[in-house]
Chains A and B, each alone.
Chain A
Amino acid sequence: ETGVTQTPRHLVMGMTNKKSLKCEQHLGHNAMYWYKQSAKKPLELMFVYSLEERVENNSVPSRFSPECPNSSHLFLHLHTLQPEDSALYLCASSQDFAAGRTDTQYFGPGTRLTVL
Chain B
Amino acid sequence: GENVEQHPSTLSVQEGDSAVIKCTYSDSASNYFPWYKQELGKRPQLIIDIRSNVGEKKDQRIAVTLNKTAKHFSLHITETQPEDSAVYFCAAKQGADGLTFGKGTHLIIQP
Out of A35, A42, A55, A108, name the residue touching B96 (CB < 8 Å): A55
Given contacts A104-B49, A105-B46, is CB(A42)–CB(B103) below 8 Å?
yes
User: Is A105 a contact of B96 with CB atoms below 8 Å?
Assistant: no
A25 to B14, CA, bound (A): 39
Instruction: Say how far A3's CB is from chain B's closest CB, in angstroms.
Output: 11
Q: Which of A41, A90, A110 contacts B103 (CB 8 A)?
A: A41
Q: Which residues of chain A come closer than 8 Å to B4, judged between CB atoms?
A: 42
Q: Which residues of the other chain, B, contact A110 by a CB distance below 8 angstroms?
A: 43
B residues less than 8 Å from A103 (CB atoms)? 32, 34, 49, 93
Is A13 part of the contact surface with B, judged by Cβ < 8 Å?
no
Q: Which of chain B's residues have a CB closer than 8 A to the CB of A105?
A: 34, 46, 98-99
The verdict on B89 contacting chain A, using a C-beta distance below 8 Å, is: yes
Q: Report Cα–Cα, A104/B32, bound state, in Å.
A: 9
- Give which listed residue, B43, B49, B91, B98, contacts A56 with CB less than 8 A: B98
If A106-B46, A109-B42 touch, whether A33 touches B98 (CB-CB below 8 Å) is yes
Q: Let me know if B44 is at the binding interface, CB within 8 A.
A: yes
Docked complex Cα distance between A104 and B34 (Å): 8
- The residue in chain A whose Cβ has the minimal distance to the Cβ of B51 is A103
Q: Find B102's partner among A42, A50, A56 (CB 8 Å cutoff).
A: A42
Known: A48-B97, A50-B96, A105-B99. A43 touches B49 (CB 8 A): no
* Complexed CA–CA distance, A48 and B1 (Å): 15
Give the most central of B34, B44, B98: most A CB within 10 Å: B98
B residues near A75, Cβ cutoff 8 Å? none
Q: Does A96 contact B (CB under 8 A)?
A: yes
Return the chain A residue nearest B36 by Cβ: A107
- Chain A positions within 8 Å of B, measured between CB atoms, are 31, 33, 35, 41-45, 48, 50, 55-56, 90, 96-97, 103-110
